[in-house]
Amino acid sequence: MAFLFGAFLGLVVGVAVVMAFARFENSRAEQRRELAATAAAFSKLTVQDLRKLIPPEFYPSWVSFTQKQKLKWLNQELTKIWPFVNEAASELIKTSVEPIFEQYKSFILASLHFSKLTLGTVAPQFTGVSILESDDSAIIMELELQWDGNPNIVLDIQTTLGISLPVQVKNIGFTGVLRLIFKPLVSEFPCFGAVCCSLREKSKVEFTLKVIGGEMTAIPGISDAIEGTIRDTIEDTLTWPNRIIVPIVPGDYR
């Protein structure tokens, strides 16, 4: 009799435990369904919707609605690869810019050529990035750029007076916004045909000129002529809507 009573009691307790566990699991499943429905509803909200629902003082520390993002990670990586960028870009700049100098040189300048050109050891710093809205055929990115570099740039200048001057460009400081347009978007890797590079607007460029072994004042007007040529070259070739097009996938992107 005691055995039967114990068996019956064990059966009752077992059934009760099973029912309690089933009820608990059903409750958890219902909570998960409600949570999933809530998450799905939040996923459909836009930034504007969230701004209306949540006052700014209640934003978590990790939430940011700004269109500009800091680029500490990019600056760190750029610093690492800068020696290689310096070597590759120096030759590219030399071959690209010298023909443009010929177009914008002042009447007092017969020719301008680089006798030395390295970008130095200090990498530019990106201070912000924005992705601009555009149509489905392009991606437009703007990078805020600041560079206080230590390049080694020496220009070999011939004047119309027959005088040769080695002029060093020193203390370069640059602040501006670099606009990159990835266009057109294509089905081939890396999924864009070309990159268009330009400056969004007239940028702040500072530098000083020094004649190696002499004085700039030796020839009146020479300093202004060289500085004007450099600034005109930058402004008229890189400032939007002027741009440099770098093809990635073969094609005509003019």
Q: Are residues 124 and 220 in the same domain?
A: yes
pLDDT in tens, 3-60: 333 333 444 444 444 444 445 555 666 776 776 666 666 666 665 666 667 676 666 5
| Vertex 117 angle, CA 75 and 124, to 5° | 15
Q: Rounded to whole angstroms, how far apart are CA atoms 11 and 6?
A: 8
User: In the predicted model, what is the mean pLDDT of residues 136-153?
Assistant: 89
Query: Side chain identity at 68, as an amino acid letter?
Result: K
Q: Rounded to whole angstroms, how far apart are CA atoms 84 and 234?
A: 23
Looking at the predicted structure, is the pLDDT value of residue 195 above 70? Answer: yes
Of residues 225 and 24, the one with the higher pLDDT is 225
Q: Is residue 63 part of a domain?
A: no
| Vertex 192 angle, CA 187 and 198, to 5° | 165
Q: Rounded to whole angstroms, how far apart are CA atoms 111 and 225?
A: 12
Q: Are residues 100 and 14 in the same domain?
A: no
Q: What is the DSSP letter of 230?
A: H
Q: Is residue 105 part of a domain?
A: yes
Q: Is residue 253 part of a domain?
A: no
Range of the domain at 45: 2-58
Q: Is residue 9 part of a domain?
A: yes
pLDDT in tens, 121-131: 999 998 888 88
Q: Are residues 182 and 207 in the same domain?
A: yes
Q: What pLDDT score was predicted for residue 2? A: 38
Q: Are residues 7 and 78 in the same domain?
A: no
Q: Are residues 177 and 87 in the same domain?
A: yes
pLDDT in tens, 197-217: 888 888 888 888 888 877 766
Q: What is the DSSP letter of 124?
A: P
CB 156 within 8 A of CB 166: yes
The residue ranges of DSSP E strands in the chain, in sequence order, are 109-118, 125-132, 139-148, 152-159, 164-182, 194-199, 204-211, 244-247
Please state the domain count of the chain: 2
194-199 and 109-118 as β-strands: parallel, antiparallel, unpaired? unpaired
Q: What pLDDT score was predicted for residue 80? A: 92
Looking at the predicted structure, is the pLDDT value of residue 100 above 60? Answer: yes
**Angle, to 10 degrees, between the axis of helix 222-238 and the axis of helix 72-104?**
120
pLDDT in tens, 57-92: 666 555 555 555 567 888 888 899 999 988 888 887
Specify which residues 164 forms β-bridges with.
Answer: 158
Q: What pLDDT score was predicted for residue 20? A: 46
Q: Is residue 229 part of a domain?
A: yes
Q: Mean pLDDT in the chain?
A: 77
User: For a pLDDT cut of 70, what percent of the chain falls above it?
Assistant: 72
Q: Are residues 101 and 38 in the same domain?
A: no
User: In the predicted model, what is the mean pLDDT of residues 187-206?
Assistant: 86
User: In the predicted model, what is the mean pLDDT of residues 218-246?
Assistant: 81
Q: What pLDDT score was predicted for residue 82? A: 92
